[in-house]
Amino acid sequence: MDCYFTREYDDKIRAAWDRRVIVSGRIGRDSLDGHPIEIRDIQDIQLVQELEPFDYTKAFGILDLGEDSPESLVRKLRDAD
């Protein structure tokens, strides 16, 4: 996808080079299928936090698991009669 930015974003672009970012601006879309093809009039650029291997194990949700790990709960549900 092409992004068009002004000189005021030069430093942010250099810092974000070869990394994942979230870009806010005016999105141009393909007239045939509607997929985004460009971003103009960029308003903001935010770096996406890089993940380390196994970072998913630190995730938690709204379910209170108590002392059980997600893996042990899945085993209990799977092995239930």
- The pTM of the full predicted model, rounded to 2 decimals, is 0.53
> Is pLDDT above 80 for 40?
yes
CA dist 74 to 54, 57, 77, 79, 81, Å? 19, 15, 5, 8, 14
> Is pLDDT above 90 for 27?
yes
Average pLDDT, rounded, for the chain: 85
Element (H, E) at 11: helix 10-16
Phi, psi (degrees; rounded to nearest 5) at 2? -90, 135
d(CA 45, CA 25): 9
pLDDT at 31: 93
Which structural domain range is residue 56 located in?
A: 2-79
pLDDT at 30: 93
Query: Number of folded domains in the chain?
Result: 1
